[in-house]
Chain A
Amino acid sequence: MRRKLDRRTVLRGLLAGGLVTVGLPFLEIFSERSASAAPDGLPKRFGMFYWGNGVLPDLWVPTGAGANFTLSPTLAPLAPHQAKLSVVSGMKVPFVNAVPHLSGPVGFFTGKPPLKNDPGAFGAPTLDQVIADVVGADSRFRSIEAAVQPGTTGLSFNGPNSPNPAESDPAALFQRIFGPEFVKPGSTAAPAPTLALRKSVLDAVTEDAKGLQGVLGASDKARLERHLDGVRSLEQRIQKLQQSPPNLVACNPPKAPKDTFPAVAGRAPLSEISRAMVDILAMALACDQTRVFSLWFTQPVSNALIGDASAGHHQLTHDEPSPQPEVAKILTQIMSELAYLLKAFDSVTEGDGTLLDHCAILATSDCNYGRQHTLDDYPIVIAGSCNGALKTGLHYRAPSADNTSKVALSLARAMGLTLETFGAEEGKVTSSLREIEV
Chain B
Amino acid sequence: MSPRTSSQRPRPRSLFATLATLKRGGAALAVLAVAAGAGSCKGEGTAATEPPVVTGPVGPAVPTLSAAQRLTRSQYAASIHDIFGAEVVVPSALEPDLALDGFEALGASKSTVSARGIEQYESAAYAIGKQLTTDPKLLARVLTCKPEGPGDAACARAFVSAYGPPVYRRPLTEPEITAVTSKITTSGLALGSFEKGLAFGIATLLQSPSFLYRGAVGEPDPERPGQRRYTAYELAARLSYFLWNSTPDDALLDAAKAGKLGNYDGISAEVDRMLASPKARDGLRNFVSEWLRLGELDLLQKDSKLFTTFSSDLGAMAREETQRVFEDLVFDRDADVRDVMTTRRTFVTPKLASMYEVPAPSATGFAPVELPAGRRRGLLGHISILALYAHPTSTSATLRGKFVREKLLCVTIPPPPANLNTALPEPTEAAKTLRDRVQIHFTAPTCASCHLQMDPIGLGLEQFDGIGRGRTKENGVVIDPSGTLDGAAFSGPESLGQLIHDHRGFAPCIVRKVFQYATGVATDGSEVDTLDALLGRFIATGYRMKPLLAAIASSPAFRSFGAPH
Judging by beta carbons under 8 Å apart, are B423 and A208 in contact?
A: no
A10 at the interface (CB under 8 A from B): no
B34's partner among A97, A216, A263, A320 (CB-CB below 8 A) is A97
Q: Given B119, B187, B312, which contacts A262 in the complex, CB threshold below 8 Å?
A: B312
Contacting B217 at CB < 8 Å: which of A207, A216, A234? A216
Q: Which residue of A lies closest to B187 (CB)?
A: A197
Q: Does A201 contact B (CB under 8 A)?
A: yes
Q: Is B83 an interface residue (CB 8 A)?
A: no
Q: How far is the CA of A141 from the CA of B114 in the complex (A)?
A: 12
Chain A residues in 8 Å Cβ range of B187: 197, 200
| A343 contacts partner chain B, Cβ-Cβ < 8 Å | no
Return A9 CB to nearest CB of chain B, in Å: 15
The stretch that binds B, out of A27-35, A276-284, A369-377, A414-422, is: A369-377
Distance (whole angstroms) from the CB of A314 to the closest CB of chain B: 9
Q: Contact check, B392 vs A303: say whether CB atoms are below 8 A apart.
A: yes
Residue A185 CB within 8 A of the other chain: no
Closest B residue to A15 using CB positions? B112
Considering only CB atoms, which chain B residue lies closest to A201 in the complex?
B204
Name the contact of B111 in the complex, choosing from A163, A229, A305, A371 (C-beta under 8 A).
Answer: A163
CA distance A55 to B209 in the complex (A): 44
| Given A158-B112, A204-B179: A220 touches B216 (CB 8 Å cut-off) | yes
Whether a CB of chain A sits under 8 angstroms from the CB of B445 is: no
A99 to B34 Cα, complex, angstroms: 10
Chain-A contact segment, one of B93-101, B275-283, B327-335, B481-489 = B93-101
Q: CA of A18 to CA of B67 in the docked complex: distance in angstroms?
A: 14
A198-233 CB mask vs B (1 if < 8 Å, else 0) is: 101110110111001001111110011011011101
Collect the chain A residues with CB atoms within 8 Å of residue B95's CB. Answer: 165
Query: In the complex the two chains form, is B210's CB within 8 Å of A266's CB?
Result: no
Q: Which residue from A194, A204, A230, A311 sits with its C-beta under 8 Å from B204?
A: A204
**CA–CA, A229 to B112, complex, Å?**
11
A-chain residues with CB within 8 Å of residue B416 when the two chains form the complex:
100, 373
The answer to whether A191 has its CB under 8 Å from any CB of chain B is no
Does A57 interact with chain B (Cβ within 8 Å)?
Answer: no
Cross-chain contact B392 with A142 (CB below 8 angstroms): no
In the complex the two chains form, is B208's CB within 8 Å of A303's CB?
Answer: no
Say if the beta carbon of B565 comes within 8 Å of chain A: yes
Chain B hits for A200, CB < 8 A: 183, 186-187
Task: Given A98-B34, A161-B110, A305-B393, answer yes or no on A208-B564 (Cβ-Cβ < 8 Å).
Answer: no
* A150-B216 Cα distance, complex, nearest whole Å: 35
A321 B425 Cβ-Cβ under 8 A: yes
Q: Which residue of A lies closest to B564 (CB)?
A: A217
B contact residues around A354 at 8 Å (CB): none
Q: Which of B296-337 contact A (CB under 8 A)?
A: 298-299, 301-305, 307, 310, 312
- Check if A118 is an interface residue, CB within 8 A of chain B: yes
B312 and A263 within 8 A (CB): yes
Residue B525 is within 8 A (CB to CB) of chain A in the complex: no
Cβ of A193 < 8 Å from any Cβ of B?
Answer: yes
Q: Please give me the residue from chain A that is nearest to B70 by CB atom.
A: A223
Q: Is A265 an interface residue (CB 8 A)?
A: yes
A158: chain B residues within 8 A (beta carbon): 112, 114
Q: Are B98 and A97 in contact (CB under 8 A)?
A: no
Q: Does A151 contact B (CB under 8 A)?
A: yes
Assess the B303–A305 pair: CB atoms within 8 A: yes
Tell me whether A197 and B118 are in contact (CB under 8 A): no
Given A208-B176, A212-B210, A305-B303, is A193 in contact with B100 using a C-beta cutoff of 8 Å?
no
Residues on the A chain within 8 Å of B101, using CB: 118
Known A208-B209, A304-B301, A373-B419; judge A233-B312 contact (CB<8 A): no
A202, A205, A224, A371: residue with the most chain B Cβ atoms closer than 10 Å: A205
- A186 interfacial by beta-carbon distance below 8 Å: no
From A150, A172, A268, A312, contact of B391 by CB (8 A) = A312
Q: Which of B31, B99, B107, B392 has the most CB of A within 10 A?
A: B392
A234 interface neighbour in B118, B298, B312, Cβ under 8 Å: B118
Chain A contacts for B394, CB-based, 8 A: 311, 315
Q: Is B110 a contact partner of A120 (Cβ separation < 8 A)?
A: yes
Q: Smallest distance from the beta carbon of B127 to chain A beta carbons, Å? A: 13
Q: Indicate whether A372 sits within 8 Å of B422 (C-beta atoms), given known contacts A119-B98, A227-B209, A311-B391.
A: yes
A376–B337 alpha-carbon span in the complex (Å): 49
A135-166 Cβ-contact flags toward B at 8 Å (1 or 0): 00000011101000011010000101111110
Q: Does A239 contact B (CB under 8 A)?
A: no
Q: Which residues of B400-455 are within 8 A (CB) of A? A: 414-416, 418-426
Decide yes or no whether A275 CB sits under 8 A from chain B. no
A197 surroundings in chain B (CB, below 8 A): 186-187, 190-191, 200
Which chain B residues (206-220) contact chain A, with CB distance < 8 Å?
207-210, 212-213, 215-217
A321 touches B426 (CB 8 A): yes
**In the complex, which residues of chain B have a beta carbon less than 8 angstroms from the beta carbon of A262?**
312
Report yes or no: A230 in contact with B115, Cβ–Cβ below 8 A: yes
**Which among B96, B301, B304, B424 has the greatest number of chain A C-beta atoms within 10 A?**
B301
Q: Is the CB of B115 within 8 A of A229?
A: yes
Known contacts A167-B116, A267-B303: does B423 contact A319 (CB below 8 Å)? yes
A288-314 to B contact mask, C-beta < 8 Å, 1/0: 000000000000000111000011100
> Is B100 a contact partner of A118 (Cβ separation < 8 A)?
yes
Q: Is B66 an interface residue (CB 8 A)?
A: yes
Partner of B423, one of A117, A209, A318: A318
Does B243 sit within 8 A of A, measured CB to CB? no
Residue ID in chain A nearest B422 by CB atoms: A318
Residues of A within 8 A of B200 (CB): 197-198, 201
B113 close to chain A: CB less than 8 A:
yes
> Quick check: A315 and B115 within 8 Å, CB to CB?
no
- Nearest chain B residue, comparing its CB with the CB of A309: B393
User: Is A176 an interface residue when CB atoms closer than 8 A count as contact?
Assistant: yes
- Is A266 a contact partner of B301 (Cβ separation < 8 A)? yes
Tell me which residues across on chain B come within 8 A of A217, comparing CB atoms: 66-67, 216, 563-565
B203 is an interface residue with CB less than 8 A from chain A:
yes
Which chain B residue lies CB-closest to A164? B114
Our pick among A205, A230, A371 for the contact of B114 (Cβ within 8 Å) is A230
Contacts of B149 in A (CB 8 A): none
Tell me, yes or no, whether B548 is within 8 Å of chain A by CB. Answer: no
Question: A268–B299 Cα gap in the complex (Å)?
Answer: 10
Q: Does A96 contact B (CB under 8 A)?
A: yes
Interface check B122, CB cutoff 8 A: yes
Tell me if B143 is interfacial: C-beta within 8 Å of chain A.
no
Q: Which of B112, B183, B564 has the most CB of A within 10 A?
A: B112
Q: Decide: B301 and A305 in contact? CB cutoff 8 A.
A: yes
Kindly list chain A residues whose C-beta atoms are within 8 Å of the C-beta of B424. 318-319
Given known pairs A164-B115, A371-B423, the reply for A207 and B179 (CB within 8 Å) is: yes
**Contact residues, B86-104 vs A (CB, 8 A):** 93, 95-96, 98-101
Q: Which 4 A-B pairs have the closest CB atoms?
A: A217-B564, A230-B118, A97-B418, A266-B304
Give A contacts to B, CB under 8 Å. 15, 18, 96-100, 117-120, 141-143, 145, 150-151, 153, 158, 160-165, 167, 172, 176, 193-194, 196-198, 200-202, 204-205, 207-209, 212, 215-220, 223-224, 226-227, 229-231, 233-234, 237, 262-263, 265-268, 303-305, 310-312, 315, 318-322, 371-375
Given contacts A198-B126, A223-B68, 12 further A-B contacts (CB under 8 A): A96-B35, A161-B110, A161-B111, A164-B115, A208-B210, A218-B565, A219-B565, A226-B113, A231-B118, A266-B302, A303-B392, A305-B392
